[in-house]
Amino acid sequence: MTVETDKVALVSGAAGGIGAAVARALAADGRAVALLDRDRSALDLVAKELAEDGHRVVAVTADVASQAEVTAAVDRAEEALGPVCELVNCAGVLRMGPVLDLSDDDWETTFAVNAGGVFRLSRTVGRRMAERGSGAVVTVASNAAGTARMNMSAYAASKAAATMLTKCLGLELARYGIRCNTVAPGSTYTPMLYGMYDPEDVARSSIEGLPESFRTGIPLRRIAVPPDIADAVLFLLSDRARHITMHDLVVDGGATLGA
């Protein structure tokens, strides 16, 4: 049985994958949830599912690369549900390829969403949280932020930027009682993972590793599923983590060997 709270959470990238799993977990824990994504049709399906289960939810479309769209989306979310007190940055894109072959568009689009989106949403919501004197932010980054990956330079660099941005935000907002943390997933069963490997070879490549790419496997011998990441997000937003801020919680089954 869901216990309703007065908390309102906003989740970007909520139309699928980890973002949708986070939205479901937050709703099940009693939050009202604003779902943000630029994929309207997929977003509406998640919103419909949650609404039919009796949860308070609103779907707002926005491209996190646009400040005007981000501001309008946060305004709509707060008009529908009330002040946002929890923000989860899940929106992300992946453009793969060797550094020497990446286009300017590959680089700029990756940073506009993965780092710029975190900046724009966190700044917009953070200002409002600071005025109210409370709140929590969790950014879903990646274990690639701290471990070099072949053919993933733009993604890894953008996630490293998002991780440090969130830590700096946590330092600056601590005086308002606002905590800011990151969750760093490793390989997780999402469309993004399927796009990296042959679908029939996803498990083997991830669990056993790819020596030719200097990529270790996963010591726990399993690939994460989106709810694994959602549970970590939920913990960092909860009062059980009330004395944790500027922390990077790695959820990768040991793939980065504790680095």
Could you give the residue numbers annotated as active site?
Answer: 155
Question: Could you give the CA distance from residue 27 to residue 104 in angstroms, rounded to a whole number?
Answer: 39
Three-state DSSP class for residue 166: helix
Residue 229 amino acid letter: I
- Degrees (nearest 5) of the Cα angle 133, 134, 137? 135
Backbone φ and ψ of 198, nearest 5°: -60, 125
C-alpha torsion sign, points 208, 214, 219, 220: negative
Measured CA to CA in angstroms, residue 151 lies from 94, 95, 115, 154, 214 at distances of 10, 9, 18, 8, 12
Please name the residue ranges forming H helices in 82-201. 104-114, 116-132, 153-173, 191-194
